Amino acid sequence: MTEKKIRVGVCFGGRSGEHEVSLLSARSVLANLDTNRYEITQIAITHEGQWFCGANALESLNRGSVADLERVLLLAEPGDHYLYTLRGTDGNFHLEKRTELDVIFPVLHGTFGEDGTLQGLLELNGIAYVGAGVLGSAVGMDKGLFKQVMRANNLPVLDWSIIDRSQVEKDIQAVIDACEAVGPYPLFTKPANLGSSVGITKCRTRSDLMEGLMEACRYDRRILVEKGLSNPREIEASVLGNDQPQAALPGEVIPGEDFYTYSAKYLSDNSQLVIPAPLPESVIDEIRRIAVAAYKVIDCAGMARVDFLLDRQTLAIYLSEVNTIPGFTKISMYPKLWEASGLKYSALLDRLIELALERKGDRDRTEFVYRRNA
String of DSSP letters for 29-66? HHHHS-TTTEEEEEEEE-TT--EEE-TTHHHHHHHT--
- What stretches in the chain show pLDDT beneath 70? 1-2, 90, 195-197, 256-269, 374
Of 294, 302, 323, the residue nearest 197 (C-alpha): 323
**Residue 258: per-residue pLDDT:** 62
Pairing of strands 128-129, 103-107: parallel
Q: How far apart are CA 13 and CA 107, in angstroms?
A: 8
**Residue 266: per-residue pLDDT:** 47
Q: Domains in the chain, start-ordered, CATH in brackets? A: 6-129 (3.40.50.20), 140-155+231-362 (3.30.470.20), 160-227 (3.30.1490.20)
Q: How far apart are CA 190 and CA 215, in angstroms?
A: 9
Per the DSSP assignment, residues forming a β-bridge with 226 are 160, 188
User: pLDDT tens-digit profile of 107-150?
Assistant: 999 899 999 999 999 999 999 999 999 999 999 999 999 999 99
Please name the residue ranges forming H helices in 57-205. Answer: 57-63, 117-125, 134-141, 143-152, 165-170, 172-180
Radius of gyration of the chain (CA): 21
Cis preceding linkage at 186, omega within 30: yes
Q: For residues 76 and 139, is the Cβ–Cβ distance under 8 A?
A: no
**Residue 308: per-residue pLDDT:** 97
Q: How far apart are CA 321 and CA 304, in angstroms?
A: 10
Which regions of 159-285 does DSSP assign to beta strands (E)? Answer: 160-164, 187-191, 201-203, 222-227, 233-241, 246-247, 251-254, 272-274
Q: For residues 15 and 22, is the Cβ–Cβ distance under 8 A?
A: no
Of 206, 258, 197, 199, the residue nearest 223 (C-alpha): 199
The CA distances from residue 195 to 37, 77, 110, 211, 342, in Å, are: 32, 31, 6, 19, 27
Interhelix angle for 172-180 vs 206-217, to 10°? Answer: 110
The DSSP letter of residue 307 is E
Q: For residues 290 and 155, is the Cβ–Cβ distance under 8 A?
A: yes
Identity of residue 281: E
**Residue 268: per-residue pLDDT:** 53
Three-class DSSP category at 141: helix
At 195, give phi and psi (nearest 5°).
Answer: -135, -160
**Residue 89: per-residue pLDDT:** 73
Pairing of strands 272-274, 251-254: antiparallel
